[in-house]
Chain A
Amino acid sequence: MTALVRSELLKVRTTRGWWAYLIVLVALVGIGTAAEVGSRSLAERRGLDFQLALVDLVGITSLLAIVLGITIVTTEFRHGTITPTLLATPGRGRVLAGKSIAGVLIAVFFALLAFVVIGAVAAVWVSIGGGELQLADADVAERAVKTLVGVVLWLLLGLAIGAVVHSQVAALVGTLIWIFLVETLVIGLLSLLDAEGVGNYLPFQALDGADGAGGDDLLDYWPALAVSCGWIVLLGALGVARTSGRDIT
């Protein structure tokens, strides 16, 4: 499995897309941090709220993580590289497991890189105003771990989606439409039926609840985490079945 994971990580790192992900991540998180710091008064910058808000900026990488997750699987079908991949590792469930472990490592790397960018930009920006950045609070540490787990969940859901829908364009466009349109519409419909609570169990509502920051209309953290994992396991099982049954022609 170590060899398989190394191979999967190498696949991700040896195309130009990887650098695009890193550049976009650094740019978005950097700009987000600057905006967050800039919108706060000197007094606010000493508060816990500010520190938590900074940590929450890691969530920016979630969308990158799900896109990368989808791409890790679908690029194999798009370019036909699934053939050499399966010749090296005939077990298709095993290939997806290797991709999942590699995906978790990449998601953790994304989150850590985001922390570094946030810390660097915020430290410089805050010190310009004559203040000092404090990120030592236990609440901040807990929030940081939760946001990191959140990024991992987004990437894993992307992998599962890619394993079900092998067409890269369909998987990416479908997922974005689902996130930005379908769930909103479904929630709207549910509220008409006086059942808006049900909407919280939709995949991206659950993921939203499991990002550490939470929200008034969302599930609490632990239920949200459980529902998110449920969706990933369900789609992942479908994806293994779909990928295993497919003829690679």
Chain B
Amino acid sequence: MIEVDGLSKRFGKTQAVAGLSFRVEPGTITGFLGPNGAGKSTTLRSVLGLVHPDAGEATVLGVSYGELDRPLHRVGAVLEASEVHPGRSGHNHLRVQAAAAGLPASRVEEVLALVELSAAAKRRVKGYSLGMRQRLGLATALLGDPEVLVLDEPANGLDPAGIRWLRDLLRSLAAEGRTILVSSHVLSEVAQTADRVVIIHRGKLVKQAPIEDVLAGAQGGTVVRSPELDRLAGVLSKAGGNVLMGGDGAVVGLPPERVGELAAANGIVLHELRVEQATLEEVFLELTGGETTQ
């Protein structure tokens, strides 16, 4: 569906993408993750024929983007919310794209309604909030009713209600059998929406797998709280547990049974003892060596 094979791209002294390969399976939502500067945007722009790779290739629906017949009918993309003329109304921005794709003007009203932007459509984009621009971007991507969607940080600038709305929209679009590649730094967002993740770091692939596998394979921990936390931490460390202190509790790299036994054996009172699942965020930090995505 989307295939990136040995892709490399250098901008001046920066190696943005270095021999990256991955596949996006048809009919799935794939989260595309990586810290800032990991090469996500360069990769997406290569897929869309906007950036010329130095080596390797990126294809969509089996061909390079430039070879697609009527591309807006096949692939919809939102790259940056700012790529709209500020003096043009949202409605006219869509009319321009619809005209280029040979779509009727009625389709403009449909996508405006779909992204719930009809009320502001006649206003100039200059006055739009970032969230409204994201909605306009999504409307643009959906104009041609494409089977593939490529979205770069679509949750950026959306408020919690907007993020929920976006999640529902992506799910309903995927349920219609569309293939969606969505980059995001809101990892919890991806965890709730995506079927698969592709994680890249410094232009290289770190992991590509179904999201359950990624989470299942990750190291969770046992959360423990105690009025004698320092003594407990000492006991647990001696028993070989990796202890991470935080406030009045700690996260321990031992199963909860073992933590409870050790506490009882040493007469230490526990206020809390529970298993914590690894979050995508933790997996991500582990895989990318602690660099944040912000």
Would you call B82 an interface residue if the criterion is a C-beta within 8 Å of the partner chain's C-beta atoms?
yes
Asked if B85 and A79 make an inter-chain contact with CB atoms under 8 angstroms apart, the answer reads yes
Residues on A with C-beta less than 8 A from B11 are: 247, 249
| A90/B49 contact (C-beta < 8 A), A79-B86, A81-B85 known | yes
CA distance A83 to B97 in the complex (A): 11
CB distance from B271 to the nearest CB of A (A): 53
CB distance from B81 to the nearest CB of A (A): 10
- The B67-106 residues at the A interface (CB cut-off 8 A) are 68, 71-72, 75, 77, 79-80, 82-89, 92, 95-97, 99-102
Report the contact-size class of chain A (Cβ under 8 Å from the partner): 20 to 34
Asked if B86 and A84 make an inter-chain contact with CB atoms under 8 angstroms apart, the answer reads no
CA distance A86 to B46 in the complex (A): 13
Q: Which of B41, B48, B84, B102 contacts A81 (CB 8 A)?
A: B84
Q: Which of A75, A88, A90, A91 contacts B97 (CB 8 A)?
A: A88
CA distance A135 to B68 in the complex (A): 52
Residues on B with C-beta less than 8 A from A80 are: 80, 82-84
Residues on A with C-beta less than 8 A from B30 are: none
Asked if A249 and B42 make an inter-chain contact with CB atoms under 8 angstroms apart, the answer reads yes
Residues on A with C-beta less than 8 A from B87 are: 15-17
Residues on B with C-beta less than 8 A from A7 are: 96-97, 99-100
Asked if B95 and A79 make an inter-chain contact with CB atoms under 8 angstroms apart, the answer reads no
Question: Please, what's the 1-or-0 string for B175-202, where 1 marks a CB less than 8 Å from any CB in chain A?
Answer: 0000000000000000000000000000
Asked if B84 and A247 make an inter-chain contact with CB atoms under 8 angstroms apart, the answer reads no
Asked if A87 and B99 make an inter-chain contact with CB atoms under 8 angstroms apart, the answer reads no
Asked if B49 and A86 make an inter-chain contact with CB atoms under 8 angstroms apart, the answer reads yes
Would you call A237 an interface residue if the criterion is a C-beta within 8 Å of the partner chain's C-beta atoms?
no
Asked if B92 and A14 make an inter-chain contact with CB atoms under 8 angstroms apart, the answer reads yes
| A14/B89 contact (C-beta < 8 A), A87-B77, A248-B45 known | yes
Closest to A89 in B: B100
Residues on A with C-beta less than 8 A from B84 are: 79-81, 84
Would you call A130 an interface residue if the criterion is a C-beta within 8 Å of the partner chain's C-beta atoms?
no
CB distance from A97 to the nearest CB of B (A): 13
Would you call B65 an interface residue if the criterion is a C-beta within 8 Å of the partner chain's C-beta atoms?
yes
How many inter-chain residue pairs (CB < 8 Å) link A and B? 84
Asked if A81 and B83 make an inter-chain contact with CB atoms under 8 angstroms apart, the answer reads yes
Closest to B64 in A: A90
Asked if B99 and A10 make an inter-chain contact with CB atoms under 8 angstroms apart, the answer reads yes
Q: Which of A6, A75, A81, A88 contacts B71 (CB 8 A)?
A: A88
| A90/B68 contact (C-beta < 8 A), A10-B99, A14-B92, A247-B52 known | yes
Residues on B with C-beta less than 8 A from A247 are: 11, 45, 50-52
Would you call B208 an interface residue if the criterion is a C-beta within 8 Å of the partner chain's C-beta atoms?
no
Residues on A with C-beta less than 8 A from B97 are: 7, 84, 88
Residue among A80, A83, A86 with the highest chain B CB neighbour number at 10 A: A83
Would you call B66 an interface residue if the criterion is a C-beta within 8 Å of the partner chain's C-beta atoms?
yes
| A84/B65 contact (C-beta < 8 A), A79-B83, A248-B51, A249-B51 known | no
Would you call A4 an interface residue if the criterion is a C-beta within 8 Å of the partner chain's C-beta atoms?
yes
Asked if A14 and B100 make an inter-chain contact with CB atoms under 8 angstroms apart, the answer reads no
Would you call A47 an interface residue if the criterion is a C-beta within 8 Å of the partner chain's C-beta atoms?
no
- The B19-57 residues at the A interface (CB cut-off 8 A) are 41-42, 45, 48-52
Would you call A85 an interface residue if the criterion is a C-beta within 8 Å of the partner chain's C-beta atoms?
yes
Q: Can you list 10 A-B contacts (CB < 8 A)? A: A6-B99, A7-B100, A10-B92, A10-B96, A10-B99, A79-B83, A79-B84, A247-B50, A248-B45, A249-B42
Q: A residues near B, CB below 8 A?
A: 3-4, 6-7, 10-11, 14-17, 75, 79-81, 83-91, 245, 247-249
